[in-house]
Amino acid sequence: MTQTARPGPVHVTGELLATKKIGAYHHLTLVAPGVAEGFRPGNFLAVSVSESRLARRSFWIHRVKPVGGYGAALELVVEAVGPGTTWLTRLARGAGSR
């Protein structure tokens, strides 16, 4: 039996499709080419949000779902507890992240 090697980290630019505040949390819907297909709920995703905020943050994937015209999208659950996550939850729809 042969095994397929898993690829290493993938760095792509994604787009924020939607953000919705639910209680203390924010649900962010992102599309990133080729990323959502390799993940499922419960996995974690490391996100860099801009050049000025170089530290990557890991987020729990709440849902992977098809979004018309975009293919698969990731839904992340984020609690704004520090400057980086607060900034991320305030991004406007269409903002790009890496």
Tokens for 60, please give them.
Answer: 């729990």
Tokens for 16, please give them.
Answer: 């924020």
79, part of any domain: yes
pLDDT of residue 96: 66
The edge-to-edge listing of strands for the beta sheet with 44-47 is 44-47, 57-67, 71-79, 25-31, 14-22, 96-97
Confidence of residue 49 (pLDDT cuts 50, 70, 90): low
4, part of any domain: no
Please list, residue by residue across 78-96, b when 16 or more beta carbons sit within 10 angstroms of its beta carbon and e when fewer do.
Answer: bebeeebbeebbebeeebe
pLDDT of residue 6: 54
37, part of any domain: yes
Query: Residue 46 is part of which domain span?
Result: 14-90
- Taking alpha carbons only, the member of 13, 7, 5 closest to residue 98 is 13
Per-residue pLDDT of 5-41, as tens digits, reads 556 677 778 888 999 999 999 999 999 888 888 888 9
Half-sphere exposure of 33 (CA within 13 A, CB side): 4
What is the number of structural domains in the chain? Answer: 1
35, part of any domain: yes
